Amino acid sequence: MRTFHSYGPVDSTEHYCVDRKELLNQCTRQLVGSIEKGGHYFTIWGARQTGKTWIVEQSVNKISRQYKDQFRVAYLSMQGFANDEQTNLSERFFEYWPRLIEDEFHLKTGKITSWNEWLDLFNKQRGIFDTPVILLIDEFDKLHTQLINQLVSLFREMYLKRNNYYLHGLALIGVRSVLGVDNKSGSPFNIQRSLHIENLSFDEVKNMFDQYHEESKQNIEDDVVKNLFEKTQGQPGLVGWFGELLTEKYNQESDQPINMKLWNRVYLKACEVEHNNTVRNIITKARDEYRTDVIKLFTDAGIHFSFDYNSSRVSNWKWQG
């Protein structure tokens, strides 16, 4: 029997999930665009644990299956590029990039010592590719602003001179619309094509619990699903987390329906006992640059939040799920 899943991409053979076909189709359509004239350069963005990685991986698989040898497609991540060190950014990036290309394309780039040499990798005359390339670059907004500006400038160069380069389609992925890249004058990233990965709808959340009911034969009261959706607003990571708590950890009587009594217990535990990566990330942000805003937003909430804080001011704010 499958289970709910709250961290990392879902696997439909192991986890309860919904098929977000329209998002997937939109992503692949924009990347492929016109076979002859080129695809689009755009951003994919959304909050943490909304399913960005799943959409990206599915898009790569779909394009690879559907177009076979017409494109070289790769999903790259900037996660491994340490950004704490602020010096020698370009040099460190030049050392990091060849490993990504070798791992994904099994091609050697040679040593890169300048941005012109990096640009030449995609050049039809001097580069390493002989087929149009589609790139999806995750965690792009984690890069230093200096690197983001430099890379966007070079992407623009390739976009404006597409006949000279093999970069057919490009998606930059992050928790925001890549630090305003969409709004830059002359940028190849059109804000109208920015793909926002939204939360699950109520029907999608209900569908996941219907799948659980069908496989487990355990009934779930309608009000439980309604309350879960109200508290999580369909945030996929939180929906999966509550699914785990309701159907596994606190589901001690699986022969009985999952009712409001169990929901109330689980919700209290989630608020005061259970730790969650999404919630912890919010706490980290709230304790630093967003502290004042968070206090303003949450001082009137009616649900006690029990995590221990160093600041007495932050310990007063509440969590509304």
Q: What is the pLDDT of residue 144?
A: 87
Average pLDDT for the chain: 86
pLDDT at residue 281, as a whole number: 77
Alpha-carbon distance of 164 to 122, in angstroms, equals 8
d(C-alpha 97, C-alpha 102), whole Å: 9
pLDDT for 316 equals 36
Spatial separation of the C-alpha atoms in residues 177 and 43, rounded to whole Å = 6
CB 206 within 8 A of CB 225: yes
* Sheet arrangement for strand 72-77: 72-77, 133-138, 167-174, 41-45, 195-196
Alpha-helix runs per DSSP H in the chain: 21-32, 52-67, 89-105, 115-120, 145-160, 202-216, 222-232, 236-244, 260-272, 277-287, 291-298
Token pair of 122 as six digits:
């995609």
Cβ atoms of 31 and 169 closer than 8 Å: yes
Q: What is the pLDDT of residue 266?
A: 97
For 291, phi then psi, to 5°, come to -55, -50
82-112: burial string, b at 16+ Cβ within 10 Å, e else:
eeeeeeebeeebbeebbebbeeebeeebeeb
CATH code at 21-196:
3.40.50.300
Quick one: which of 209, 229, 206, 228 has its CA closest to 219?
Answer: 209
pLDDT at 301: 58
- Judged by DSSP in three states, 16 sits in coil
**Whole-angstrom distance, CA of residue 227 vs CA of residue 32:** 40
Positions of the chain with pLDDT under 70: 82-85, 175-192, 294, 297-298, 300-321
Given a contact cutoff of 8 angstroms between Cβ atoms, the answer to whether 71 and 168 are in contact is yes
> What pLDDT is stored for residue 278 in this prediction?
77
249-273: burial string, b at 16+ Cβ within 10 Å, e else? ebbeeeeeebeeebbeebbeebbee
pLDDT at 320: 34
Q: 204 in helix, strand or coil?
A: helix
Distance of alpha carbon 52 from the chain centroid: 3
How many angstroms separate the CA atoms of 246 and 8, rounded? Answer: 19
Q: What is the pTM of this model?
A: 0.79
Q: Where are the domains of the chain?
A: 21-196, 202-316
